[in-house]
Structure 1
Amino acid sequence: MKKAKIIIDKYFLTGGVDQRIFGSFIEHLGRAVYGGIYQEGNVNSDEQGFRKDTLELVKELNVPIVRYPGGNFVSGFCWEDSVGPKEQRPARTELAWQVIETNQFGLNEFADWSRLTGSDIMMAVNLGTRGPADAKNLLEYCNFEGGTYYSDLRKAHGYVKPHDIKVWCLGNEMDGKWQMGHKTAEEYGRIASETARLMKWLDPSIETVACGSSGMMMPTFGEWEYQVLNECYDEVDYLSLHQYYGNRSNDTSDFLACSKGMDDFISGVISLCDAVKAKKHGKKEINLSFDEWNVWYHSNEQDKQIKPWNKAPHQLEDVYNFEDALLVGSMLITLLRHADRVKIACMAQLVNVIAPIMTSDTGAWRQTIFYPYMHASVYGKGTVLLTQIKAPVYESRTYGTVSILDSVCIWDQESETLTIFAVNKDLEEDVEVVCDLRQFEGYQVKDHLVLTHDDMKAVNTEAAPDTVKPTSSRASRLENGNFSTVFGRHSWNVVRLEKSLQ
């Protein structure tokens, strides 16, 4: 059996976990909204048309914040179309995904839905086909108490209290030529700066997110971040990152190494943010919002068959397998290892569209990736300890030398718990892991959750929703301050230790 060591010290800290790192994303795309979170007349829907089965699974995920309404969709979005009496809302051609948007679900419905889930809203403004004035008007509609045109319009629509949305995305993927209103870095940086200034004059309590590169492989990566922040450093609080991965070559070992690419991406963007700070003799730190991340490739071919100008087609409906869940676990670990700078992150997306939750007209179920996401969101509270790994390595085709073990440790001093998240990427062998925990006197192993399956391509379906699901392990022990465990081959693990009451 291979051997590995996790090394931590309770005085060597990475940073506190901002719970918004476990956020998600709902875009007006495919069946994310219509048929996903909202379906009037369905047997599983409430009086507002919200899917109750979906709601319960979203609550189980413990999602702290949800980005809305896009995504590429937002660059053509006229928010005024989505509010007011439904019978007066216009249907529009939606150019980003070439569908018909009925606007029967809009801003206020999403605010109602978010309150039911217990999630905050991360609102995106249209900086593609619109600009600063429209963003300011939307903010006034959402956050201003009353006595102005747009705040009184909200009241006329039945919402007396403001929505009080605190996080605002300044457009979406403006570096991409697929984006409506695509701009150069300098053009976008200027409009982001002006938009943020107007919005913060109206509501100084908000935070703003500028668009970084829509992927590490963009030809403008690096130059884009530097130029954008050079224009808007003083007005923004976060810079966004987007990245998706896929196992197109059916090389599982290389696929599981993608988290190393994600780590490199984060480290590179942090360096760029700090370079602008140094140039400007700045006093504030630009933190990161990794507000689109996931596995996305399964549905690419079937999406080519979709005819344009439908309503809510089955689009981007990746059916996730077990190996996808392993990579998602490693990506969550990567985000947590950068908790000092990654303060917001959004798994894209939440329901039906490249999502942990799937629905049909008759029910909703958990995809394989649901479980690592849920475990991290529920148990990933506290302070990330600087986690060093000594483990065997392997050579990946794309990312070079990669450790077989991904792990991060989180210490919650308030509840006196220590949580170890770990992925064993070895496809053939278990790994025996030790860790010196003598600093955590009085702690005991509470539980050890494992997600694994013999078939790397195993999936969950409505007919067989529990094909891939967590089980309990008794492999973890803590004796005289010496922790030992076994992480099975190709497995996601959550070990929770807590201080004894004795």
Structure 2
Amino acid sequence: MKKAKMVVDKEYKIAEVDDRIYGSFIEHLGRAVYGGIYEPGHPEADEQGFRKDVLDLVKQLNVPIVRYPGGNMVSAYNWEDGVGPKEDRPKRLELAWRTIETNQVGTNEFADWAKKAGTEVMMAINLGTRGIDAARNIIEYTNHPGGSYWSDLRKKHGYEQPHNIKTWCLGNEMDGPWQVGQKTPYEYGRLAKEAAKAMRLVDPSIELVTCGSSNSSMPTFPEWEAETLDHTYEEADYISLHQYFGNYDNDSQNYLANGLELERFIETVTSICDYIKAKKRSKKTMMLSFDEWNVWYHSKDSDSKLEPWTVAPPQLEDVYNFEDALLVGSILITFLKHADRVKMACMAQLVNVIAPIMTDNMGASWKQTIFYPYMHTSVFGRGVSLHPVVSSPKFDTKDFTDVEYLDTAVVYNEESEEVTIFALNRHISEELKLDINVSSFEDYQLKEHIVLENENLKAVNTVFKEDVKPHNKGKSQLKDGFVEAVLTKASWNVIRLKKIN
């Protein structure tokens, strides 16, 4: 059995965890909205047509913020199409995903859904086909109290009080050639800066996210960040990062090492931000919003065969397996290890479209494998991220060297007097014995050891059977200031300590 050890001390603080790193994303794409969160006539639909069974699952995830309405879709979206009487709303050709958008759900309906889900809205504006004027108008519509054209129109539409949406994305993936209205770094930087200025004149309290590169493999990365931030650094509060992973080579050990690629991405963007800070002699530190991330590769063949110009087709409906859940856990661990700079993150997406929650039209809803590490970190990962001192055996793969078998993050919630250790054993065939020095946490006891494991890395959950689900029978004991744990092969572990009162 391989052995690892770590020291966890309450004084080894990284930063307070911003709850918004457990955010998600709903785009007008596939069945995320229509057939996902919204399905009038469904047995579980409420008076507005929102599925209550889906809302219940979203609440289990304790999602703090949800990005909307896109995504690629937003770059050709006219927000005005989605407000006002539903019978007057136009059906449009949605260019990003080549579907028909009925606009039966828009800004007001989504704000209502967010309240029901107990979450906040991160709204994206169209900087592809539109710009400053549309940006200032939508924020006037959503956030201004009244006495102006757009705010009074909101009232006419039945919303007397403003929605007060505080977090706004200045476009989406504007470096991408697939994007309607793709921009050069100069074009985007200038437009985003001026849109930001206009939006802040309407509502100075908002937070703004400027577009980073679409992923770390873009040929313009990281020059895009450097040039765009030269324009937007003082106007924006965050820069976005997007990244998706897939086990295309069916190499599980290499696949589970992708947390290192994610770390490199975060650290590179952080260094560019700090370079621009120094260049501008700024006192502000730019924070990171990882507002698109997930595993995405299972559905790409079937997506290529879909007929265009239909309503809510089954697009990007990846069926996730057990090893995907392990990588999702590793991604969340990586965010916690960088809690000093990663302040928001959105799993893309929330329902049906590369999502932890799946539904059948007019039928049931269920939890995909990735639901569980997302839920565990969101529920138990609130507090201060600590820096554990780790000693772990390592391995090499096709793409990575010196990968630690133990991938871990620790969160200390002083208010509830709890410590949570998230631990991934990356070894796909051997257990890992883990000794944890927790002597700085006097009078704490072991509360539980949750494990997500399966003999089959390719095991999946379906509407009929949940083959991948956690149990709390992990092998751990706490004695004389040390936790002795056994992490089964290829397993996700949540070890919780609680102070004795």
Identify whether the pair has TM-score above 0.5, normalized to the shorter chain: yes
Kindly state the Cα deviation for residue 437 of structure 1 after the two structures are TM-superposed.
1.1
The 5 Å alignment of 1:313-462 reads 313-360=313-360, 361-462=362-463
Counterpart amino acid of 1:404? Y
Kindly state the Cα deviation for residue 7 of structure 1 after the two structures are TM-superposed.
2.2
SS in structure 2 opposite 1:6? strand
In 2, the alpha carbon distance for the partners of 1:225 and 1:44 equals: 45
Kindly state the Cα deviation for residue 474 of structure 1 after the two structures are TM-superposed.
4.4
SS in structure 1 opposite 2:291? strand
Conservation of the 8 A alpha-carbon contact between 1:322 and 1:453: yes
Structure 1 range deviating more: 478-487 or 294-303? 478-487
C-alpha distance after superposition, 1:280-304 (max 9, x if no partner): 0000000000000000000000001
**Which position in structure 1 is the counterpart of 2:475?**
475
Counterpart amino acid of 1:353? V
Kindly state the Cα deviation for residue 162 of structure 1 after the two structures are TM-superposed.
0.4
Residue 226 in structure 1 maps to residue 226 in structure 2: yes
Structure 1 consecutive aligned stretches of length 4 or more whose deviation exceeds 6 Å = none
Conservation of the 8 A alpha-carbon contact between 2:451 and 2:474: no
Counterpart amino acid of 1:448? H
C-alpha distance after superposition, 1:159-191 (max 9, x if no partner): 001000000000000010100110011110111
Conservation of the 8 A alpha-carbon contact between 2:450 and 2:474: no
5+ residue gaps, structure 2, are none
In 1, the alpha carbon distance for the partners of 2:118 and 2:106 equals: 18
Conservation of the 8 A alpha-carbon contact between 2:7 and 2:438: no
Kindly state the Cα deviation for residue 46 of structure 1 after the two structures are TM-superposed.
1.2
Identity percentage of aligned residues: 58
C-alpha distance after superposition, 1:268-290 (max 9, x if no partner): 10000000000000000000000
C-alpha distance after superposition, 1:41-76 (max 9, x if no partner): 111211211011111000001000000000000001
In 2, the alpha carbon distance for the partners of 1:376 and 1:291 equals: 17
Kindly state the Cα deviation for residue 3 of structure 1 after the two structures are TM-superposed.
0.3
Counterpart amino acid of 2:433? E
Structure 1 range deviating more: 181-190 or 1-10? 1-10
In 1, the alpha carbon distance for the partners of 2:382 and 2:41 equals: 39
**Which position in structure 1 is the counterpart of 2:264?**
264
Conservation of the 8 A alpha-carbon contact between 2:453 and 2:470: yes
In 1, the alpha carbon distance for the partners of 2:39 and 2:436 equals: 49
In 1, the alpha carbon distance for the partners of 2:391 and 2:500 equals: 29
Q: CA RMSD in A?
A: 0.7
5+ residue gaps, structure 1, are none
Kindly state the Cα deviation for residue 401 of structure 1 after the two structures are TM-superposed.
2.3
SS in structure 2 opposite 1:384? strand
Residue 289 in structure 1 maps to residue 265 in structure 2: no
In 1, the alpha carbon distance for the partners of 2:55 and 2:265 equals: 33
C-alpha distance after superposition, 1:329-353 (max 9, x if no partner): 0000001100000000000000000
**Which position in structure 1 is the counterpart of 2:47?**
47
C-alpha distance after superposition, 1:460-495 (max 9, x if no partner): 00011x211001124111111112111110000001
Counterpart amino acid of 1:444? Q
Conservation of the 8 A alpha-carbon contact between 2:29 and 2:73: yes
In 2, the alpha carbon distance for the partners of 1:474 and 1:233 equals: 47
In 2, the alpha carbon distance for the partners of 1:254 and 1:306 equals: 31
Conservation of the 8 A alpha-carbon contact between 1:424 and 1:487: yes
Kindly state the Cα deviation for residue 436 of structure 1 after the two structures are TM-superposed.
1.2
Conservation of the 8 A alpha-carbon contact between 2:9 and 2:441: no
**Which position in structure 2 is the counterpart of 1:135?**
135
Conservation of the 8 A alpha-carbon contact between 1:44 and 1:363: no
